[in-house]
Amino acid sequence: MAKVSKRLKAAAEKIEKGKLYSIKEAISLFKETATAKFDESIEVHFRLGVDPRHADQQVRSTVVLPHGTGITKRVLVLAQGEKMKEAEEAGADFVGGEDLVTKISGGWLDFDAVIATPDMMKSVGRLGKLLGPRGLMPSAKTGTVTFELADAIREIKAGRVEFRVDKFGIIHNGVGKKSFTEEQLYDNVRTIFQAILKARPSSVKGTYVKSFSVASTMGPGIKIDPSAAQKEVAGE
């Protein structure tokens, strides 16, 4: 059995066992329990009442967090002709066509987001086994297959995140840093929660959000009352 550090034990003692907190209470506790010697991320975890094995119960979309994530993403763009120049001028970190497809095929993955123009998707399709498991595969649904490169690059750099349900019916994303103010963290958590509620598949019956928690990178989870949280964000 793994030994619990004194730091983690002290953090866990600040959380009342069995209690479901409000979003604002949980964020305050996150600030107290994120005691590692670096600027820890705040992570949100949602367990949804969906069956991801069914195509009509997939939950996947994007949302722009009002205060970003605190992480600067390296954006790679796969394009041709004049669109390559547009991507460079818009601030993409890496721009290329078939040359970059070949480089990625060889195992190079030194980037955080991929955007492709529709005319590149025939080539990009070969990268599915490499990019798909890492959540990097461009998709029209998430706005990363587009000719509007400047807008897509700007949104990703500004804090656009993709969320998607995993095979266990869980969504987990980083949505900020301990160095953010409580108000900034609240705005970000509220924004992604609202986006997940909006993405509810019409085929889902019964309880959609079964559990909701936040945690620091190296800290304990803090459980939030999902029903109360829905009322909280809907009433604003």
End-to-end CA distance of the chain: 45
Neighbours of 5 (CB within 10 A): 10
Give the residue-averaged pLDDT of 68-72. 89
Q: In the structure, what pLDDT confidence band is assigned to residue 11 with cuts at 50, 70 and 90?
A: confident
State pTM to two decimals: 0.79
Q: In the structure, what pLDDT confidence band is assigned to residue 177 with cuts at 50, 70 and 90?
A: very high
What is the rounded CA–CA span in Å between residue 80 and residue 71? 28
Strand partners for 63? 161
Question: Which distant-in-sequence residues (6+ apart) come within 8 Å of 69 by Cβ?
Answer: 41, 159, 161, 174, 175, 176, 177, 188
Classified as helix, coil or strand, 72 is coil
Give per-residue burial for 14-29: e unless 16+ CB within 10 Å, then b: ebeeeebbebbebbbb
Q: In the structure, what pLDDT confidence band is assigned to residue 184 with cuts at 50, 70 and 90?
A: very high
- Tokens 């989870």 locate to 221
pLDDT of the residue at 235: 64
Q: In the structure, what pLDDT confidence band is assigned to residue 101 with cuts at 50, 70 and 90?
A: very high
pLDDT of the residue at 202: 92
pLDDT of the residue at 85: 96
What are the percentages of helix, strand and coil residues in the chain, rounded to 5? Answer: 40, 20, 40
Q: What percent of the chain is modeled with pLDDT above 70?
A: 97
pLDDT of the residue at 29: 94
Give the residue-averaged pLDDT of 72-79. 94
Give the residue-averaged pLDDT of 167-188. 95
Question: Which distant-in-sequence residues (6+ apart) come within 8 Å of 138 by Cβ?
Answer: 78, 114, 115, 116, 121, 124, 131, 144, 145
pLDDT of the residue at 236: 54
Arithmetic mean of pLDDT over the chain:
91
Question: Phi and psi for 232 in degrees, rounded to 5?
Answer: -65, -45
Question: Which distant-in-sequence residues (6+ apart) come within 8 Å of 80 by Cβ?
Answer: 97, 117, 119, 120
Residues 103-151 pLDDT 10s: 999 999 999 999 999 999 999 999 999 999 888 999 998 889 999 999 9
Give the residue-averaged pLDDT of 17-23. 93
CATH number listed for the domain at residues 14-69+160-235:
3.30.190.20
pLDDT of the residue at 8: 75
- Tokens 């095979």 locate to 167
Residues 210-229 pLDDT 10s: 999 999 988 889 999 999 99
Question: Phi and psi for 114 in degrees, rounded to 5?
Answer: -125, 130
Give the residue-averaged pLDDT of 21-40. 92
Decide if domain 75-158 falls under CATH 3.40.50.790. Answer: yes
pLDDT of the residue at 1: 45
Q: What percent of the chain is modeled with pLDDT above 90?
A: 75
Domain boundaries, the chain: 14-69+160-235, 75-158
CATH topology identical between 14-69+160-235 and 75-158: no
